[in-house]
Amino acid sequence: MKKIVLSIAALALVATTMTSCKKEYTCECTATVLGFTTTASSTIKDTKKKAKEACEKGNASAAGSSVSCKIK
């Protein structure tokens, strides 16, 4: 019984550490202004969820121009 409890605890610890791992993600933004398009990218080191949120904060549009950012 003790071995089963220790095995489950070890497995839970490994699963928790693997899901919150910080990695490098590339945020690619495409900007269109008056018909001209340009692309830029940056690197974000964080969890996938937080990196996606940070990247998508760059999304915007106004009066004939727009910026669209996505994690690649």
Domain boundaries, the chain: 22-71
Q: Please, which pLDDT band fits residue 15 given cuts at 50, 70 and 90?
A: low
List the 36-46 sheet strands across, edge first.
36-46, 23-33, 65-71, 60-62
Question: Cβ–Cβ contacts within 10 Å for residue 25, how many?
Answer: 19
Place of tokens 């919150």: 20
Place of tokens 């839970």: 12
pTM tops 0.75, yes or no? no
Round to whole Å and give the CA distance between 48 and 20.
Answer: 9
Report which residue type is found at 2: K
The pLDDT assigned to 64 comes to 86
